[in-house]
Amino acid sequence: MSVNRAQRVDLEVVADLIPPNSRVLDVGSGDGLLLELLQETKQVDGRGLELSQRGVNECVARGLSVIQGDADTDLEFYADQGFDFVVLSQTLQATRNPKVVLDQLLRIGNRAIVSFPNFGHWRVRFSLLIKGRMPVTKDLPYSWYDTPNIHFCTIRDFVNLCEELGATVEKATALDANGQKIGLSMPWWFWNFFGQQAVFLLKR
Amino acid sequence: MAAQRAARTKDEADHPSSPVLQFGLDKPLKLDAGTFLAPFQIAYQTYGTLNDARSNAILVCHALTGDQHVANTNPVTGKPGWWEVLVGPGKIIDTNRFFVICSNVVGGCLGSTGPASTNPATGKPYGLDLPIITIRDMVRAQAMLVDHFGIEKLFCVLGGSMGGMQVLEWAASHSERVFCALPIATGARHSSQNIAFHEVGRQAVMADPDWHGGKYIDFGKRPEKGLAVARMAAHITYLSEAALHRKFGRNLQDREALTFGFDADFQIESYLRHQGMTFVDRFDANSYLYLTRAMDYFDLAADHGGRLADAFAGTRTRFCLVSFTSDWLFPTEESRSIVHALNAAGASVSFVEIETDRGHDAFLLDEPELFAAINGFIASAARARGLSA
């Protein structure tokens, strides 16, 4: 498990943003790694929503509070401000309507935490510009025809969407190819070029 | 034969082979029908030991034709308890660790007051003079049994099908007394199709001349043919097309060719007839009418102003719902709508759908994924409740 966690540095970054004993909804909770991490280290009251039934059944068998559901259709059933934090990690780009999903996150959670792969990273740009091919990288290992990721965005695109939805960026972190945080004082264009992943803390 | 069985029905109803808790005229059971039932009794079984803090009690709620004999040899059929795959020493619901209670529902026929019980006003069986019983009435009676044990809060309430309805009712009307709830293969209301199937069963019973307007015990009779037909029709709804095909296909029963008659040529016919026959041996026809009616009347949202989420407003109970892919009696959508309501109420909820072709009855069978889910849920709830392993 620690191996898996090492591969998902963004989870640690997300966990760092959440104070102990919070109520947390993890949308796209997958194999439950983040929920488990948060329960162990922050004693949160954590819930998960996950598309894959297999993932859900495994989580429940491990004692996590997870339901099967689709971020695109099932978030509307959650009450306003029902959670301190709603987390969407590495899932936004796979939703059919990211704008609606993000709007729901901001409605359900006092704060929303969103992590996503940055399509503005230089490797992606390089692949398209020089090779003329859709990028296939370590973080984005799918080919164009079998990818579940249908709505990629860059860090700048995401910041624009937040503005459109009236969300305030309380904190943003970009991770480079080695999973290291990029220095805080760097301008957006720098993050957008060198950040492979981004983690945003939002409030509305 | 029928007369003998009629006498035994009477006997098991009044003097069951289980402990019985009797409530006198001073402790009436309030019924949704707008009246009171008094005196009345509850027959129950318990397993394991209640701890000093009285915090390790699990209430198992049985389904339509189940009974209190969840984990002991059934005194009527001689068969193992109906949920021994799950409940017992060292099992997932470990009776070395938990104090497990299961009671016959009010309206039933194995010792809790039901239509076969003696009406103290007449000295004869109630028959149809028993008021209509609802799921909420059953739960009210169970709460009185739980009070008797001095248990303020149950660690867990679980059950499938009609048992699941009771679990939901417990969570809705006694939420502060339920630490965690496990409704399996159930719904927050009975669908029109399910009411339809129940009505077919009831009409089959009532069409049997031996039913005698519900007074068959007085006549030393039992409407066995009608009840068997009711069971046959219902049994189909507990299985799935795929499972029926897998088990029986179009296989012939003990014969090489079709007989061009109305004998049970096909294995499925023979199987259903057997199911019908063994059922009438152990179940009372009037109880079948009352309990199917209780399920039909169940509509938890309607009891809370039409909004299911309001049934669970402010709940602190932890929930885990389970459905099965091939269950067409209580399809996954039924569970999902409960999950949505619980989400809206801000409840802690898990929900697993289990892939199986065994239909509704899967909840009674050896389903490893079901057991894994129950095990994970119970273990984590027990930790949260401070119950040591």
B48 and B183 fall within a common domain: yes
Residues B166 and B236 in one domain: no
CA distance B107 to B95: 27
Does the pLDDT of residue A2 top 50, yes or no?
Answer: no
B175 at the A interface (CB within 8 A)?
no
Q: Answer whether the bond into residue B28 is a cis peptide, omega within 30°.
A: no
* Chain B contact present for A129, CB below 8 A: no
Instruction: Give the pLDDT confidence of B289-321 residue by residue, as tens digits.
Output: 999 999 999 999 999 999 999 999 999 999 999
A1, pLDDT greater than 60:
no
For residue A141, the model assigns a pLDDT of 85
Our count of domains for chain B comes to: 2
Q: Which residue of A has its CA nearest to B340?
A: A77
Spell out the domains of chain A, with CATH numbers in brackets. Answer: 2-119+151-203 (3.40.50.150)
Q: Which domain holds residue B309?
A: 2-191+300-385
Residues B224 and B245 in one domain: yes
Among candidate residues B90, B109, B45, the one with its CA nearest the CA of residue B72: B45
CB contact under 8 A, A53 and B379: no
What CATH number does the domain containing B37 carry?
3.40.50.1820
Question: Do B353 and A53 count as a contact with CB atoms less than 8 A apart?
Answer: yes
Please name every residue paired with A86 in a beta bridge, in sequence order, or none if there are none: A25, A112
From B234, B262, B292, the end of a domain falls on: B292
CA angle A103-A189-A124, nearest 5°? 80
One-letter amino acid at B224 equals E
Q: Which residues of A touch B353 (CB under 8 A)?
A: 53, 56, 68
Position A4 pLDDT exceeds 70: no
Task: Give the pTM.
Answer: 0.93
Number of CB pairs, chain A paired with chain B, less than 8 A apart: 68
The reply to whether B181 and B242 lie within a common domain is: no
Q: What is the pLDDT of residues B29-84, one digit of tens each?
A: 999 999 999 999 999 999 999 999 999 999 999 999 999 999 999 999 999 999 99
Q: Which residues of A touch B180 (CB under 8 A)?
A: none
Q: Please give, rounded to a whole number of angstroms, the shortest distance from the CA of A26 to a CA of chain B.
A: 13
What is the residue-level pLDDT of chain B in tens, covering all 389 positions?
A: 667 777 777 788 999 999 999 999 999 999 999 999 999 999 999 999 999 999 999 999 999 999 999 999 999 999 999 999 999 999 999 999 999 999 999 999 999 999 999 999 999 999 999 999 999 999 999 999 999 999 999 999 999 999 999 999 999 999 999 999 999 999 999 999 999 999 999 999 999 999 999 999 999 999 999 999 999 999 999 999 999 999 999 999 999 999 999 999 999 999 999 999 999 999 999 999 999 999 999 999 999 999 999 999 999 999 999 999 999 999 999 999 999 999 999 899 999 999 999 999 999 999 999 999 999 999 999 999 999 77
A31 touches chain B (CB under 8 A): no
The whole-number pLDDT of residue B1 equals 66
Percentage helix, strand, coil, to 5, in chain A?
40, 25, 35
Q: Are both B46 and B148 inside the same structural domain?
A: yes
* Interface test with chain A among B180, B322, B350, by most A beta carbons within 10 Å: B350
CATH number reported for the structural domain that contains residue B275 in this entry:
1.10.1740.110
Question: Is residue B129 located within the same domain as residue B270?
Answer: no
Which residues partner with A49 through β-bridges? A27, A67
Which of A6, A32, A10, A35 shows the shortest CA–CA distance to A22? Answer: A35
Distances in whole angstroms, Cα of residue B171 to Cα of each of B143, B155, B177, B191, B383: 12, 12, 8, 21, 20
How close A189 comes to chain B (CA, Å)?
A: 40
Which of B262, B292, B322 is the last residue before a domain boundary? Answer: B292
Whether B352 and A64 lie within 8 Å, measured CB to CB: no
Residue tagged active-site, from B174, B198, B304, B360: B360
- Same domain for B131 and B258, yes or no, is no
Beta-carbon neighbour count of residue B73 at 10 Å?
Answer: 11
Note whether B50 and B165 are same-domain residues.
yes
Catalytic: B15? no
Same domain, B73 and B153: yes
Is the pLDDT at A78 greater than 70, yes or no?
yes
Is the domain of B39 the same as that of B187? Answer: yes
Residue that finishes a domain, picked among B292, B319, B341: B292
Tell whether B162 and B222 lie within a shared domain: no
Shared domain for B211 and B304, answered yes or no, is: no
